[in-house]
Structure 1
Amino acid sequence: MSQYYQYDVLIIGSGAAGLTTALTLPQHLSIAVLSKGNLSSGSTYWAQGGVAGVLDETDTIESHVQDTLVAGAGLCNEDAVHFTVENSRSAIDWLIEQGVPFTRNEPSESTNSLFDYHLTREGGHSHRRIIHAADATGAAIFSTLLEHARQRENIHLIEQQAAIDLITSKKLNRDTQTDACLGAYVLNSATNEVDTYAARFTVLATGGAAKVYLYTSNPDSACGDGVAMAWRAGCSVGNMEFNQFHPTCLYHPEAKNFLITEALRGEGAHLKLPNGERFMSRFDSREELAPRDIVARAIDHEMKRLGIECVYLDISHKPADFIKEHFPTVYERCLSFGFDITQDPIPVVPAAHYTCGGVAVDQHGHTDLANLYAVGETSFTGLHGANRMASNSLLECFVYARAAAKDITLLDSQVPLPSDLPHWDASLVRDSDEDVIITHNWEELRRFMWNYVGIVRTNKRLLRALHRARLLEYEINEFYSNYRVSRDLIELRNLVLVAELIIRSAMKRKESRGLHYTLDYPNLSDQPQDTILSPLPRANADD
């Protein structure tokens, strides 16, 4: 039997952004943190690199800002960049206060760090400013924040909860001047019932949408759920065409989604062709430390030019003890597949990694819809522009999650608890006997997105992709209308919508900039603008 729950704050997503929001909110608020799978099933747990911030006495806020603006290829929102960087130290201090076990300097190491933590450098950064926990920073942060959340009586952590749609006053035809979010309908995977969550404030922290591509470094949960739900609720989205492909994922048939951290290149690893030749100097003077879009395109170019299945990342020229100490996770994982990275190069390929666009928000994480917030990779803050600089994403999670929590706290007394929300109506649907449709459409969608809307694009490819996406969307929505919901169906419905938003955004950009590279418009526009899409009737939505 379906259940009805009431909370002050409903947080959909249990990663860095969601947990930080929950822990920053006052303890008198009742908070539900929902996880689609297990609590650790999101991207945070798998993040290897670290958190960027101005932490070295030779570094400056302006230097970090300028590096971000350069990486963003002229499309960053400068206010968002300054806001994020200026709050980097306080966000990292908060993480240290929580007890995150960041890697400390060895007693013999000389350092300019403002405190005794090891800082590394990654692509696009002009200084060492990445604080990390060896090469498993995400796991260290997640475990620490989760432990604190479990100790808070007002925070309820609930697993196996797949949010279906947001509940809004407009959808319920309630006579209010301003449309507002009232909560969400959520599938409880344990009971197969759809429960109703009423909440004064709702926070989308569902991560990105890289699962829309065939090859990705992301976990299976990265289906763009928050973006799709927000769009259906009437929120604008921005810059969905900018999907970052991480240059170096382990190439092995059994190594599902394993990312080789950019910190290897930061510490001197070389990219090589199968014959041992280095090639990055032909594409950028920064070589292996060029921004990720340049490195990914260079690898893609060499693979297509030579007809090879992968290139190689080689750090074996560094001392073995150094490699094992700084990259224990990568060392052990590669060794399990027969690669000793102290002696052997690592076979790597690009893979979809990060969604730079998302639900449009302000500096408080607030969306177009009253009482609805989006934080982390779900959101579009303007920080990343046309290309995310390494380790700015985790920083964005903490800065904007804390800002959203502060805004909710200020509005606490002004927003009443929604009342009498209707239960989910499943009276006209039946159990599916054709789940093969879900499996087939899932595979078709991800394959044509990889082939047509990948690292290099053309007008013809985008048109083909849009046509296929809309055919699939029609089939999936028809299926959704007639059968009981399942997690697979919820994710597929969201994924096909996000795919269409990505394609439409890519079609609107008549230039090549950052992560969007098209053979039909290879040059930069003189007047770059963000790509903002707002929900419209289909008759007016063709771009």
Structure 2
Amino acid sequence: MRKKVDFLVIGSGIAGLSFALKVAPYGKVLVISKTKLAETNTAYAQGGIAAVTYKPDDFKKHMEDTMVAGDHLSNPDAVKMVIENAPQQIKQLVEWGTGFDKTEDGKYDLHKEGGHSEYRILHHLDNTGHEIQRALLEKARQHHNIEFAENFYAVDIITQHHLGEITFRWRTDVKCFGAYVLNEKTGKVDTILSKITMMATGGIGNIYQTTTNPTIATGDGIAMVYRAKGIIENMEFVQFHPTSLYNPKERPSFLITEAMRGYGAILKKGNGQAFMEKYDPRGSLAPRDIVARAIDSEMKNTGEDFVYLDVTHKNAEETKMHFPTIYHKCLELGIDITKDMIPVVPAAHYLCGGIKVDLKGRTSILNMYAAGECSSTGLHGANRLASNSLLEAIVYADVAAEDAARQVRTIRHKTQIPSWNDEGTTHNEEMVLITQTNKEVEQIMSNYVGIVRSNLRLKRALDRLELIYRETETLFDDSIVTRELCQLRNKINVGYLVIRMAMMRKESRGLHYTVDQNKLRTKR
């Protein structure tokens, strides 16, 4: 099948849907989702969305908190733009039907999370992302110019490469003409031609064994743009959320929101002793990279598989009211959080790097934008401040939509695009090749490219991954396309980028922590 649209949106989370809503008045929009539209990274976000709302908070404080959390690697222009646009975008979400919790006097009930100097987290109970996803989907489904396609998997974006031209990474005139998309109902790869393409595919968490991300988070957009010779940056900055519920049988790992620590929960060892104060004066409310490394250190020192989060000293009814999802989830496992400490362990959670974009959300590939977790805007620097991610996604979707609406009038479809060529390929009957290699990738990344790294670990990871890469590319060339095979290929590409950029950074900075650099500092 061949199809023409004005705007192709790959991904149906907050970035993709808000972009779709804002460009819909200017042309036909197709939103594709690799599974169900509601199954997104956005829907799994518990804590909330950060924005300056009431005094004594102000933009300057939010900007400073963001810069400090990002270890001063954040782009000040991006930080300023996102934070100053936050109130306007919150207002837009509310107009679209999002319900944020309020106090009895009608004001927003604001939370405080690690790294924030003020209460500024708007939330809906402890499932804010789910509420935003619900509201955006309902609003988008009402627009006659927006079409949806579920179970459509983007295989590759279309550029001059598919016309026989040679493209390279720093070439400035590479253009996106749309995407090759696997229709899982038919098993065929369709050709979607678009004037503008928005990449909003979410995160990379499933390159690791333990992650809070849904199983769909396999770095697809980043891998596609990388293969198309787009610029990718800051992949070494992988954020591990300090507190996922310890339950080895479950994937994804259930997130225990940082808002619970803002509420007063304390990290403790099995003997009930708090430990965070010896790592940072902010204690359990230190930024995520510090807390994750502290937990990792305590687990290694004690030999235990987890630490505890203790909220038993707080009012039981108030705890259940603020965190109903967490309360009921833990209760299913026999843990009453009002009486029992919660076993927690760090899990891969968020990527601060990704597809490099400018202040209008434009990638290095013409006619292509990126927003949300797959993008690298400069906001997060070396470490994301809690609850800045949903905010970043909607602000960059907004500026991208404004720019794309202007550009779409001047762009014509490229019609001489060949159909997907699967000549000579066959069905891969040995699914074990894919499933086993998937496990190998996750083990390599978890064992060697996790919270604490070293030159030796990174070199070993790279050597192992290069062998797997060659095997998988051969399998891809010989096989009829499936989602499982494409996801494996993308995970390998993304894992390679994380390793290579970690090897290039010769300092411990933010989320990238290397023991070799700390040895050098000690010797000095």
TM-score normalised by structure 2 residue count? 0.97
2:26/2:405 contact within 8 Å kept: no
Q: Of 407, 411, 419, which residue of structure 2 is paired with 1:411?
A: 407
One-letter amino acid of the counterpart of residue 409, structure 2 = S
1:236/1:368 contact within 8 Å kept: yes
Structure 1 segment 387-398 matched on structure 2, within 5 A: 387-398=383-394
Number of residue-to-residue matches in the alignment: 516
* Aligned equivalents of 1:309, 1:494: Cα separation in 2: 30
* Aligned equivalents of 2:217, 2:520: Cα separation in 1: 30
Q: Of 103, 106, 117, which residue of structure 2 is paired with 1:105?
A: 103
* Aligned equivalents of 1:65, 1:250: Cα separation in 2: 31
Per the alignment, residue 40 of structure 1 pairs with 38
* Aligned equivalents of 1:175, 1:75: Cα separation in 2: 34
Structure 1 segment 255-270 matched on structure 2, within 5 A: 255-256=250-251, 257-270=253-266
Per the alignment, residue 366 of structure 1 pairs with 362
Per the alignment, residue 153 of structure 2 pairs with 162
* Aligned equivalents of 2:305, 2:166: Cα separation in 1: 59
Q: Once the two structures are superposed, what CA deviation does each residue of 1:238-281 show, in whole Å capped at 9, x if it has no partner?
A: 10000000000001234432100000000000101000000000
* Aligned equivalents of 1:275, 1:389: Cα separation in 2: 30
2:222/2:232 contact within 8 Å kept: yes
Tell me by how many angstroms 1:515 deviates: 0.3
Per the alignment, residue 116 of structure 2 pairs with 125
Per the alignment, residue 183 of structure 2 pairs with 188
* Aligned equivalents of 1:128, 1:523: Cα separation in 2: 38
* Aligned equivalents of 2:122, 2:320: Cα separation in 1: 18
Q: Of 16, 20, 24, which residue of structure 1 is paired with 2:18?
A: 20
Q: Is residue 2:246 matched to residue 1:233?
A: no
One-letter amino acid of the counterpart of residue 432, structure 1 = N
One-letter amino acid of the counterpart of residue 247, structure 1 = P
Q: Of 275, 290, 299, which residue of structure 1 is paired with 2:286?
A: 290
Q: Of 495, 513, 519, which residue of structure 1 is paired with 2:515?
A: 519
Per the alignment, residue 465 of structure 1 pairs with 461
1:512/1:523 contact within 8 Å kept: no
Q: Once the two structures are superposed, what CA deviation does each residue of 1:337-362 show, in whole Å capped at 9, x if it has no partner?
A: 11111111110000000011100000
* Aligned equivalents of 1:473, 1:126: Cα separation in 2: 45
Q: Is residue 2:471 matched to residue 1:475?
A: yes
Per the alignment, residue 146 of structure 1 pairs with 137
Q: 408-417 or 468-477, which moves further after superposition?
A: 408-417
Per the alignment, residue 63 of structure 2 pairs with 65
Q: Is residue 2:348 matched to residue 1:357?
A: no
1:10/1:202 contact within 8 Å kept: yes
Q: Once the two structures are superposed, what CA deviation does each residue of 1:416-453 show, in whole Å capped at 9, x if it has no partner?
A: 12213211111210111222111111000100110000
Q: State the SS of the aligned residue for 2:163.
A: coil
1:105/1:117 contact within 8 Å kept: yes
* Aligned equivalents of 1:354, 1:311: Cα separation in 2: 21
One-letter amino acid of the counterpart of residue 11, structure 1 = V
* Aligned equivalents of 2:311, 2:104: Cα separation in 1: 21
1:512/1:524 contact within 8 Å kept: no
Q: State the SS of the aligned residue for 2:25.
A: coil
* Aligned equivalents of 1:175, 1:377: Cα separation in 2: 29
Structure 1: stretches of 5+ with no match in the other structure: 108-114, 526-543
Q: Once the two structures are superposed, what CA deviation does each residue of 1:189-237 show, in whole Å capped at 9, x if it has no partner?
A: 1111111100000110000111111110101011000000001111111
Q: Of 206, 215, 218, which residue of structure 1 is paired with 2:201?
A: 206
Q: Is residue 2:327 matched to residue 1:306?
A: no
* Aligned equivalents of 1:49, 1:524: Cα separation in 2: 38
One-letter amino acid of the counterpart of residue 235, structure 1 = G
Q: Once the two structures are superposed, what CA deviation does each residue of 1:47-79 show, in whole Å capped at 9, x if it has no partner?
A: 100000111121110100000000001211111
* Aligned equivalents of 1:484, 1:26: Cα separation in 2: 34
Q: Once the two structures are superposed, what CA deviation does each residue of 1:379-431 show, in whole Å capped at 9, x if it has no partner?
A: 00110000000000000000000111111011121111221321111121011
Tell me by how many angstroms 1:522 deviates: 2.0
1:184/1:196 contact within 8 Å kept: yes
CA RMSD of aligned residues (A): 1.4
* Aligned equivalents of 2:17, 2:200: Cα separation in 1: 9
Q: 35-44 or 499-508, which moves further after superposition?
A: 35-44
Structure 2: stretches of 5+ with no match in the other structure: none
Q: State the SS of the aligned residue for 1:351.
A: strand
One-letter amino acid of the counterpart of residue 97, structure 1 = E
Per the alignment, residue 419 of structure 2 pairs with 423
Q: State the SS of the aligned residue for 1:7.
A: strand
Counting aligned pairs with the same residue, the percent is 50
